[in-house]
Amino acid sequence: MELFYHTLANGIRLVHHRTNGMVAHCGLIINTGSRDEKTPEHGIVHLIEHMLFKGTRKRKAYYILSCLDNAGGELNAYTTKEETTIHASVLKEDFEKAVDIISDIAFNSLFPEKEIPKEKDVIIEEINSYLDNPGELIFDDFEEMVFSGQPLGRNILGTPESVRSFTRETLNDFVSRNYNPFETVFCSVGNIPEQKIVRLFNKYFGTVPAKKKKNRNINPAIYKPSLQIKKKDTNQNHCIIGNVAFNFKDKRRMGMFLLNNILGGQGLNSRLNLSLREKNGLAYNVESNYNAYHDTGIFSIYFGTDGQNLEKSIAIANSELNKLRRSKLGSVQLSRSKNQIKGYLARGYENHENLMLSLGKSLLVFNKIDTLEEICRKIDNISSSELLDIANEVFDPARLSTLIYK
């Protein structure tokens, strides 16, 4: 896979992959997320993401919302704990329009006073929808439990009280402190010549003023395993079991990625799916997840089950963890698991929107991008002994936390 790179004088980096096809994808990834909020700012990044669409110096909200949609394209954004991303998918002849509007809303948004109360109400309804969805809410509560007292543990949406407290001044102040060209990547995938990409990149991002790099305030996480049971008026019991895990730059991250897929990844043949759902019929939704951050990570198992089956389900889940701690994978099992994860990665590369976002995230975090071949070689180099060591560290029963909704 051939990649084209370019960096502007203000620090914004570009990565582009030229492909065939009628559709092009592009995005801007900013190294600012909810963990960069001070305590009174809980939820402000997410509100800013919404407000980016509400008007700039040269565009009204209606034009922003409709200009790409009218041509069959799509403009969207999302917030994570460490990034804010604005992205678009358009026909290739509309690519410049997409670059223009992404640049405009990222760097020229006005946060109109009259729009702020309406968008606060929208977000409060979003918060309410999460509160009505225990299968999603439990993940936020689990991270709050694992990263107790840390900005990383706070949910992205904020609270109704914190969201209502924000003003136009607080939004502008946060953007001024945290949105930095040196920590911003523009990524694109599509049938766009490199010369055109450079011209558009310079035209729409070259005039953005440079700033000093911000220092992300990272305090060493102090993790204490715990068990919490919360009473909820639900038809199912919901359960998460997990632990802290490896950060982005830890060499064990790839092994953890593979191990997580074996345990409860997207395959129907994952160990948790086979044991909890297929063999015992105890759960409809069952999965495991591993999320890496700059300084730490989190691993979790999730399932929902009938209350009378909760203890049995927990015992089966812990049994699967213990199997991975006690026994090395055989050569055939290991080979199959590696081939499965490599197949998932290859399929992901064929989805050009996902590829675009993946390229941007890799450049932002690592300042380099491994090819699919390089990633596959890293996977091939993982040994069963490495996986056993990882399993014994992350799946150690004495280190696991459990959160239950009853």
Within-domain flag for 210: no
The domain that contains 281 carries what CATH number? 3.30.830.10
Mean pLDDT taken over the chain? 95
pLDDT at 109 over 70: yes
Residue range(s) defining the domain that contains residue 364:
227-405
Are residues 192 and 258 both part of a single domain? no
Within-domain flag for 287: yes
pLDDT at 157 over 70: yes
Are residues 316 and 200 both part of a single domain? no
Are residues 195 and 238 both part of a single domain? no
pLDDT in tens, 271-293: 999 999 999 999 999 999 999 99
- Residues annotated as catalytic (active site), given as ranges: 49
DSSP label at residue 295: S
**Region 85-114 average pLDDT:** 97
Within-domain flag for 276: yes
**Bridge partners of residue 288, in order along the sequence:** 301
How far is the CA of 323 from the CAs of 78, 329, 330, in angstroms? 38, 10, 13
Last-in-domain residue among 141, 172, 205: 205
pLDDT at 216 over 80: no
Name the nearest CA neighbour of 73 among 90, 98, 53. Answer: 90
pLDDT in tens, 302-330: 999 999 999 999 999 999 999 999 999 99
What total number of domains does the chain contain?
Answer: 2
Confidence (pLDDT) at 212: 75
Q: Which amino acid is at 131?
A: L
Task: Return phi, psi of residue 37, to 5°.
Answer: -80, 140
Are residues 172 and 286 both part of a single domain? no
Please name the residues in contact with 77: beta carbons below 8 A apart, sequence gap of 6 or more: 49, 52, 53, 84, 85, 86, 87
Are residues 173 and 32 both part of a single domain? yes
The pTM (predicted TM-score) of the whole model is 0.94
Q: What percent of the chain has pLDDT over 90?
A: 95
Are residues 323 and 363 both part of a single domain? yes
Please name the residues in contact with 356: beta carbons below 8 A apart, sequence gap of 6 or more: 17, 25, 26, 27, 87, 187, 188, 189
**CB-CB contact of 68 with 62 (8 Å):** no
pLDDT band at 220 (very low <50, low <70, confident <90, very high): low
pLDDT in tens, 377-404: 999 999 999 999 999 999 999 999 999 9
Within-domain flag for 217: no
